[in-house]
Structure 1
């Protein structure tokens, strides 16, 4: 039997490997849509970015002339692009709480020393969190962000059953719940800890195959349920994309990710999974923005960062070409948010791409991810360029081979596909 890997290539299981059948989850309807909207509109969703910036660096080849537009999420990758050499980064998110998180990070870079900064965003907790906030960070924030953190800074205090910031927000709540399940109901917590400390890939693979593969099938099933997916920002439209395109559906996609991350790739530098398994990073396993040797340089680069709370379309339309200098935006990082719009609001998707075309530098590069293996919702999109109407796919110069090669190296492995395309 063959299945599709998250890069879209056919993978045949090794001889003797048995994969238990998985139910295909239903895409969900109006009730799950309202549930997703309620969770997403009222909460901090992402406490860390789950898009591997190592792939983005290779795909974007950033330089001092580049202006990057990126959806903020938790802000980790916006900071990474500054360190990668981008001349200007605009981070935009429709959720003001995500903007507030990046504001707090930038205020901390400007006003704390590295040890204090790492205590908050590396360890994920500090008994001095409220003191640092009141003394050094609060005055640096915009009024909306200040109101949010006035009521939420205790997320860093290290108290309660979610004692790390990386167990806060809706994504952190799901992560902590699943970690507790593996510890208390499956009894494999010590094996997860041993996996993180495995000295070699062979030892890591041995622990995973002998102790964790079976229990993580159950975790995949739980994580694939509509409520769980809503907590990590996956709406019904995106579940539909996975269900229709990924053999075995969402649970298979999640467990295929486990197979890659824990069974085939070294965990030693995989800070994405370390943070959610253990609740913290380490000085040697963390995002680039948290590393001590980058701290002073990051502080110097912060004036190149602009934060916006709006839709991508509104943000782009507010950028007058004359004010943006010669060339406009050169790199667009759209994450997976087109999955949200693709099956629900084609008009909004077309408006966004028209704004991209209107503000893009000639030859601008766009990268995006999808829960599915394809992005068929782009096929009917039409945009106007130089007085003519074009089907969007006819304008895009895609790089599927490069995207597939990079996607195989993805340390997160929760997306079905990765895409790279250039505009004319």
Structure 2
């Protein structure tokens, strides 16, 4: 009999708790106004509706050309007639973005840029080595036998100007040729002195001597005897025993094969010269870069740790073989080096612009890289900005490709976008708190 009172006691206790919970829920749904009338709170039903809808994210549609046109359902822009597109990344509850006055925008340094069609290329970054253009290398050998009496080039790397004396040679063969040439000139002078008594046969002899003189001069020129030496011989009628040989073009010495006093023949390479006004840049390409690079691609070359402007050119040659030691493929670029800024053997930074194509692009500084993806602050006009998620592609220079999320002509914030995004987040949080309370 003692069990029945206990059961009745616990039953009454449970009923009391249920009654208190009902009163609390009723009080949460209603408030007394100034006239002592009970008013239903509007957020209660909306909260229940959100629970019933499973907290679905509210979608917004915006005009690509007129971002001030924004609505919560698909449609057509009343200004330009374009179809509205979904504004990805906009905050929910309709309170998307933030409104900032013109003075604050100026203090924040906010600048706008339009999404435009640009030609972008995938940039392949590698390094290169400056090398001598092998087509400019000149080997200098004597045309006759003799002894090097004086060598005016003493070190590898010495700069040589066109017309500068390289060496002086004494050749008995050259002296004998000069004597024969002097005799030829003397016979011609004798014939010209008897000009009044010329017969047909004498006239033919003069013509023959003139031809022989021209052939002799050509032989001297071939033997690196300058016109000034020949003119001196014709004027003085004396031989020049030691003949100076001059450089045919400018460059720097890459190799010296003889010294003063050496006996040389036409088979001896006295020295080698190279012209560095045009150089090669040997580029190293790795296996994962070969699929993008092809001959004719535009290349930018920059000296590391230098303020010199970039040197541009086009890829002219790709080696078909792979280096067995480095497992790389060597490509070649030919560039002008008139100011001698590029020294053979130096390393340079190389950027190859591959597969150029036209695409929608914005400045790289406009994109905010977050843990939830990439975003930009889209301007709707009158200082109103909304965060929009975008899909990005390749980067080229100061621009980045936009594959999804923006339309051509849309304006985005380039500077101060992080401040705008933070303000939009605070505004959205405040709207959430106001809606919940």
Scaled by the length of structure 2, the TM-score of the pair is 0.17
Q: Which has the higher strand share?
A: 2
Computing the radius of gyration over CA atoms, which structure comes out larger, 1 or 2?
2
